């Protein structure tokens, strides 16, 4: 009987951490090779992780809601036979220096790349740190030490609190951790690191922040609580603790929401945005929607106004192909796209995502309907893959479903334009010389003025409206 460890894998997205959303197994459960044991959320999407071997769950190393770095052990499993892999928590402190070269060798094979940043070979090396007993670390950080496995470590005398960082040495921490410490007003040099190689982790910073506001007697009681087997890992304890009398609540921004915020800031201050509006009569399109719903050739397909709006956008792109482009900053070139990956902005519980329909320009109306339905269902389930959100060219965002008339949308990074569709409402409208109640909507088109000038943007928006005002143009202009 051996203990094997499963580490947080690099899911191939160029990311270095993920949040554990849900565990599907508990200690004592039997698992088989390929069985999904948990769901994690990276900065791009939710991903299910399968275990790569058979056995019985020995321990879950992190609780739900905890953000874990790639390469950290998240679950240990008892297996029959095979090469033995001792859990990190059971290794004796004296053996740590000897095991250090092996621990450094593993990350060298994986070259995580953050967006816009490469990783040098030297970045995987860590300066050696003097190991500190878990109890002393917990005492200084103000929390109980995490218990990685039920088996207790060999008894060791409780040492006095060790210095957080050697004098004159810059603390080791990732940029997000440094920013977190800055935001919380924590001096990294005063934080005891618990990460591999003496790296300060998010949990260390949160623990130090909690200790700084806790009563002075609390640290003294921490060592006594450390041996308790039910002690949870230092997780997001200070994350969203709301009291009845609280006047403010702080919500950590992470995962999809964090990346969306960064992308929108980058887009807003990189691409010169221009937004144009058009209000028009879509009564004929709404009638066509009802006729298509009753068409036996389209039975079983989801037919709605968004489907015809998407088709109108594709027709307008065919008439104005120069709008389907991107800006190459490095080469200072405009890249014309001869394909359309049509993005559909989707609001999900984890934040706004923009998956796209690959090669939408080549799809029939029925195929486009199937793709839209699949895209929306996948997004609502939180199963949208990173590949589904890459290489978009133009996006549609339907704010009308919220009863909103229009807006000034921000471009999805790397795309040339985004169309906001407002609510379709019955309004008084001049039709054939008389005021009549008609179905009216407003479209707002934001575009990158480096790629699309005012004339091209106006013609493109006018063509979309013309198709939806007289939907027979779906045929005559195709």
Structure confidence by residue, pLDDT tens digits, 421-455: 999 999 999 999 999 999 999 999 999 999 999 99
126-132 own/partner pairs: CB under 8 Å, 24+ apart: 126/172, 126/196, 126/197, 126/198, 126/199, 127/169, 127/172, 127/197, 127/198, 128/97, 128/100, 128/197, 128/198, 129/172, 129/193, 129/197, 129/198, 130/162, 130/166, 131/93, 131/96, 132/159, 132/162, 132/192
The mean pLDDT of the chain is 76
In this predicted structure, what is the pLDDT of residue 249? 81
If you write DSSP's letter for every residue of 333-371 in order, what string do you get? EEEE-SS--EEE-EEETTEEE--EETTGGG--HHHHHHH
Min mean pLDDT across 184-188, 352-356, 415-419, 455-459 is at: 184-188
72, HSE (Cβ side, Cα atoms, 13 Å): 21
Least Cα distance to 262 among 472, 418, 422, 412 occurs for: 412
| Residues 368-411 pLDDT 10s | 999 999 998 888 887 888 788 889 999 999 999 999 999 999 99
In this predicted structure, what is the pLDDT of residue 447? 95
Q: Supply the residues annotated as catalytic.
A: 449
Residue 7 has pLDDT above 80, yes or no: yes
Mean pLDDT of 328-335: 89
Residue, of 112 and 393, whose pLDDT is higher: 393
In this predicted structure, what is the pLDDT of residue 180? 74
What share of the chain has pLDDT > 90, as a percent? 41
E strands in 422-462: 425-431, 434-448
Residue 130, Cβ neighbours under 10 Å: how many? 10
Least Cα distance to 465 among 291, 322, 317, 281 occurs for: 281
If you write DSSP's letter for every residue of 38-100 in order, what string do you get? EEEE-SS-EEEEE-SS-EEEEEE-S-TT-EEETT-EEEEEEESSS-----GGGS-GGGHHHHH
**What is the pLDDT confidence band of residue 314, given thresholds at 50, 70 and 90?**
very high
CATH of the domain spanning 1-125, picked from 3.30.230.10, 2.40.50.100, 3.30.300.30, 3.30.70.1350: 2.40.50.100
CATH of the domain spanning 257-476, picked from 3.40.630.30, 3.10.580.10, 3.30.559.10, 3.40.50.880: 3.30.559.10
Query: 127-153+171-252 is classed in which CATH architecture?
Result: Irregular (4.10)
In this predicted structure, what is the pLDDT of residue 241? 53
Helix, strand, coil percent content, the chain, rounded in steps of 5: 35, 20, 45
In this predicted structure, what is the pLDDT of residue 93? 38
| Residues 123-164 pLDDT 10s | 334 444 444 444 343 434 444 444 444 444 444 334 334 344
Most confident of the following: 244-248, 300-304, 458-462: 458-462
| Residues 52-105 pLDDT 10s | 889 999 999 998 888 888 889 999 999 886 444 444 333 333 333 333 433 343
Residue, of 128 and 175, whose pLDDT is higher: 175
Mean pLDDT of 27-34: 90
Residue 209 has pLDDT above 90, yes or no: no
* H helices present in 232-275, as ranges: 255-268
The angle, 0 to 180 degrees and rounded to 10, between the axes of the packed helices 305-319 and 454-469 is 140
| Spans of all domains in the chain | 1-125, 127-153+171-252, 257-476
């Amino acid at each position: 009987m051996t203990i094997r460890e499963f580490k947080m894998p690099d899911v191939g997205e160029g990311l270095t951490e993920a949040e554990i959303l849900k565990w599907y197994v508990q200690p004592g459960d039997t698992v088989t090779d390929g069985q999904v044991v948990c769901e994690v959320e990276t900065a791009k999407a939710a991903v299910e992780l399968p275990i790569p071997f058979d056995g019985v769950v020995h321990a879950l190393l992190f609780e739900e809601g905890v953000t874990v770095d790639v390469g950290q052990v998240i679950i240990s499993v008892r297996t029959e036979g095979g090469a033995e892999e001792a859990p990190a928590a059971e290794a004796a402190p004296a053996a740590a220096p000897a095991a250090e070269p092996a621990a450094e060798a593993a990350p060298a094979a994986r070259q995580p790349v953050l967006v816009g940043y490469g990783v040098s070979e030297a970045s995987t090396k860590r300066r050696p740190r003097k190991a500190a007993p878990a109890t002393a670390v917990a005492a200084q950080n103000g929390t109980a030490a995490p218990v990685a496995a039920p088996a207790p470590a060999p008894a060791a005398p409780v040492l006095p609190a060790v210095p957080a960082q050697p004098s004159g040495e810059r603390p080791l921490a990732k940029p997000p951790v440094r920013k977190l410490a800055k935001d919380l007003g924590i001096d990294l040099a005063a934080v005891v690191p618990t990460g591999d190689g003496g790296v300060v982790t998010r949990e260390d910073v949160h623990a130090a922040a909690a200790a700084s506001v806790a009563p002075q007697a609390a640290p003294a009681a921490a060592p006594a609580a450390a041996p308790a087997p039910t002690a949870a890992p230092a997780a997001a304890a200070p994350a969203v603790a709301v009291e009845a009398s609280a006047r403010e609540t702080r919500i950590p921004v992470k995962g999809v929401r964090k990346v969306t915020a960064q992308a929108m800031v980058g887009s807003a201050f990189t691409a010169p945005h221009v937004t144009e509006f058009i209000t028009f009569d879509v009564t004929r399109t709404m009638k066509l929607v009802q006729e298509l719903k009753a068409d036996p050739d389209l039975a079983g397909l989801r037919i709605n106004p968004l489907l015809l709006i998407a088709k109108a956008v594709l027709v307008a792109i065919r008439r104005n192909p120069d709008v389907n482009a991107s800006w190459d900053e490095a080469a200072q070139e405009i890249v014309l796209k001869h394909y359309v990956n049509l993005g559909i902005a989707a609001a999900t519980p984890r934040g706004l995502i923009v998956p796209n329909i690959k090669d939408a320009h080549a799809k029939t109306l029925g195929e486009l309907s199937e793709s839209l339905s699949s895209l929306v269902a996948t997004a609502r389930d939180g199963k949208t893959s990173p590949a589904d959100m890459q290489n978009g060219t133009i996006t549609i965002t339907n704010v009308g479903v919220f009863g909103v008339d229009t807006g000034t949308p921000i471009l999805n990074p790397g795309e040339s334009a985004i169309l906001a569709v407002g609510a379709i409402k019955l309004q008084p409208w001049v039709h054939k010389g008389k005021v009549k109640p008609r179905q009216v909507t407003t479209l707002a088109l934001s575009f990158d003025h480096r790629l699309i000038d005012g004339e091209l943007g106006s013609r493109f928006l006018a063509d979309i409206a013309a198709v939806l005002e007289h939907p027979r143009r779906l045929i005559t202009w195709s």
